Amino acid sequence: MPRPAAATCSSEGPPSGGFSIGDDPIILAAMSKLLLIRHCQSTGRHPDAPLSAAGAKAAGALITRLRDLAPDAVYSSPYERAHATVRPFAISAGLSVGLDDRLRERVLSDRDLEDRLDHVRRSFVEPDYRAPGGESLNQTKQRAIAALTDIAAAGHRLPAVSSHRNLIASVLRSMDTAFGFEQWQDLHTPDLFEVELDAGRPIRFVRLDALRRFAGQ
């Protein structure tokens, strides 16, 4: 899809929000937004793990919430729990789901870690820290932002993007360094953020009520 049109102004009279200096037009890059969604409750961490019964119910309730927000495109991590979170809405809206491997969950390690939470906690103190066989928080952030930049460049009005707790935390931390381990622990299944981007780079976010109409959440 083409990129959104940028506001352009000239000496003949700039459009609202633009300006010119002499005969040189100033081109303002359009700000864009997207919805960043943490998946609903799942039965495990394996890429093929399905949603739990409660998670499937929440994904159904998310249809109404997303319909209110009216995203015009849907993207997801290829992991089943992320895909299954937005698939019901996509079907109801007649949209396809674009799967992007860069949106997959962070690989914390290639082996079982008894002290998993300690490794996550250390990641927020040392973002370049890597557990054995794993990715650092910064590495996760880099591929996440690369994916979001490409999605923002695709020309959608408001894309919805479904991913995972560690990846989403890395993106939120890139905009607010106060976002740390405690905030990571507080992320819900599902959770929903509106992210504003400038020239494809996330610059600020607002946490939305993911399931305001879903009793019991």
**Predicted confidence pLDDT, tens digits, the chain (217 residues):** 433 333 333 333 333 333 333 454 443 346 899 999 999 999 999 999 999 999 999 999 999 999 999 999 999 999 999 999 999 999 999 999 999 999 999 999 999 898 999 999 999 999 999 999 999 999 999 999 999 999 999 999 999 999 999 999 999 999 999 999 999 999 999 999 999 999 999 999 999 987 754 444 4
Q: How confident is the model at residue 210, as a pLDDT?
A: 74
| H/E element, 144 | helix 137-152
CA dihedral 132, 183, 163, 58 (to 10 degrees): 130
Instruction: Enter the pTM of the model.
Output: 0.84
Distance from C-alpha of 31 to C-alpha of 152, rounded to nearest angstrom = 9
Q: How far is CA 78 from CA 55, 61, 89, 116, 182, in A?
A: 17, 21, 16, 23, 27
Strands of 120-190, DSSP E? 159-163
Amino acid at 195: V
* Domain range list for the chain: 31-208
Whether omega for the bond prior to residue 2 falls within 30 degrees of 0, making it cis, is no
The correct CATH number of 31-208 out of 3.10.20.30, 3.20.20.120, 3.30.450.40, 3.40.50.1240 is 3.40.50.1240
Q: How confident is the model at residue 211, as a pLDDT?
A: 72
Q: How confident is the model at residue 181, as a pLDDT?
A: 98
Cβ atoms of 42 and 55 within 8 Å: the answer is yes
